[in-house]
Amino acid sequence: MEIISPLHQIFSISAACLRCMRQHYNSYGRSICGVKLEDIVSKGDTVRVEYVVSLTSVQVIDQSKGRGPLEFEVGDGNMIKGFDEAVIGMKLNQEKTVTVPPEKAYGTKKGSHPLAGQTLIFWIKVVGIDRDKI
């Protein structure tokens, strides 16, 4: 029989909470960490993000500025895999920069897409999260 200390349980729950906010919540709709579940992006959510994508830190190739936020359903296959993975777990109004390798962007085979073989750098800010109420 394994003996687990209360401190070990807290750290185990906190680590699990970071991996999957929906698994560990209380009756008030908050995770153990205190974040509202509706403020965390998960697969199936429709999100709105502001973004800038570049090939280097200075070579911007696209951005949402001037067009409004990009809206998409997380995990439905319409976005590149690396972008989908980057937004999962983000909080409402959180910003982050992620580097997406070609394998999770447009592939490595040149000619299949103008950005094939390119590593993309995204700055992302989640500005809206919508989900179907069950």
Domain, as residue range, for 83: 41-130
75 and 118 in a single domain? The answer is: yes
Its pTM stands at 0.71
> What is 55-115 written as a DSSP string?
SSSS-EEEE-TTT--EEEETTSSSS-HHHHHHHTTPBTT-EEEEEE-GGGTT-SSTTSSTT
72 and 110 in a single domain? The answer is: yes
28 and 53 in a single domain? The answer is: no
61-98 pLDDT tens trace: 999 999 999 999 999 999 999 999 999 999 999 999 99
Number of domains comprising the chain:
2
The CATH number of the domain holding residue 76 is: 3.10.50.40
Q: Which two tokens stand for residue 87?
A: 């937004």
50 and 33 in a single domain? The answer is: no
**Cβ-contact 13, 26 below 8 angstroms:** no
